[in-house]
């Protein structure tokens, strides 16, 4: 590994979907496969980092040398992330966190009734995990890398998200492109990061997520001067 073990950074990564219970047998979720987050974890570990993966429910093996903490809900992921982030060197938010959860999960299975054809669920907003990590006071704040899945104006929305969430770097991809992103093995992305001279960017063409993960980890470690850039 390129990083000497005495200065191994601790990289904390969220990955996969979250699952928000509606009742004891049902939930709200999304199609995130976790592939990108797991590829990042594998790559960071291969580079010599200490890696903790905070994972929602996915069917992927834990990469070698990676510590995996399993969570289900956004609130659990949030609590775990905020417990680990103050000690971390890098925080990468790759999870597809559910934006909303049921205001209260029903204690018993929701019943279908004969007299009503509609069912109304009240949802409440989940906390923004990465924004809360990015808002930690300096000294407790890791280098924060976020993801943005967009269907149009990728660069503009990514610049806006970078600033609004207070991130150090953002990896934006166009999820409207066939065969890329969600569930797929390949991805293309625009990397944007802040420097004292202004934002810089790098456009990564379609490639396997494992290869893109190597590029993202490389760029992150270069920003932290843990490896030389180039």
Q: Which residues are annotated as a binding site for CTP?
A: 93-95, 99, 109, 127-130, 147, 161, 165
Could you confirm whether 199 is annotated as catalytic?
no
Q: Please list the alpha-helical segments (H only) found in the chain.
A: 35-46, 74-84, 129-134, 154-164, 209-223
Minimum distance of ligand C5P from residue 118's CB (angstroms): 28
In the DSSP assignment, the letter for residue 123 is: E
> Does position 147 bind ligand C5P by CB under 6 A?
yes
**Which CB, 148 or 226, lies closer to ligand C5P?**
148
> Does position 95 bind ligand C5P by CB under 6 A?
yes
In the DSSP assignment, the letter for residue 87 is: G
CA distance 179 to 206: 10
Minimum distance of ligand C5P from residue 154's CB (angstroms): 12
- Angle of the 209-223 helix axis to the 35-46 helix axis, nearest 10: 50
**197 touches 211 (CB < 8 A):** no
**Which CB, 3 or 149, lies closer to ligand C5P?**
149
64 C-beta neighbours (distance < 10 Å), count: 9
> Does position 172 bind ligand C5P by CB under 6 A?
no
> Does position 54 bind ligand C5P by CB under 6 A?
no
Minimum distance of ligand C5P from residue 131's CB (angstroms): 7
CA distance 19 to 1: 35
> Does position 85 bind ligand C5P by CB under 6 A?
no
> Does position 174 bind ligand C5P by CB under 6 A?
no
Which one of residues 130, 158, 216, 221 is an interface residue with ligand C5P (CB under 6 A)?
130
Tokens of 40: 């990042």
> Does position 38 bind ligand C5P by CB under 6 A?
no
156 C-beta neighbours (distance < 10 Å), count: 11
Give the active site residues.
30
Q: Applying CB under 6 A, which residues contact ligand C5P?
A: 14, 74, 93-95, 97, 126, 128-130, 146-148
């Amino acid at each position: 590994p390129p990083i000497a073990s005495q200065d191994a950074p601790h990289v904390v990564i969220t990955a996969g979907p979250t699952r928000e219970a509606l009742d004891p047998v049902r939930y709200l979720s999304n199609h995130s496969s976790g592939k990108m987050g797991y590829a990042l974890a594998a790559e960071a570990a291969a580079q010599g980092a200490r890696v903790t993966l905070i994972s929602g429910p996915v069917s992927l093996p834990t990469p070698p040398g990676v510590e995996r903490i399993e969570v289900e809900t956004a609130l659990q992921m949030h609590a775990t992330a905020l417990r680990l982030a103050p000690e971390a060197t890098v925080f990468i938010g790759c999870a597809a966190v559910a934006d909303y959860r049921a205001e209260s999960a029903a204690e018993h299975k929701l019943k279908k009734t004969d007299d009503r054809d509609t069912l109304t669920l009240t949802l409440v907003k989940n906390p923004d995990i990465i924004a809360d990590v990015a808002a930690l006071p300096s000294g407790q704040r890791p280098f924060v890398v976020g993801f943005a899945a967009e269907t149009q104006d990728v660069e503009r929305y990514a610049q806006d998200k970078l600033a609004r969430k207070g991130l150090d770097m953002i990896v934006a991809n166009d999820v409207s492109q066939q065969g890329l992103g969600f569930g797929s093995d390949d991805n293309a992305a625009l990397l944007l990061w802040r420097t004292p001279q202004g934002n810089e960017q790098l456009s990564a063409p379609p490639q396997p997520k494992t290869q893109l993960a190597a590029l993202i980890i490389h760029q992150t470690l270069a920003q932290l001067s843990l490896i030389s850039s180039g």
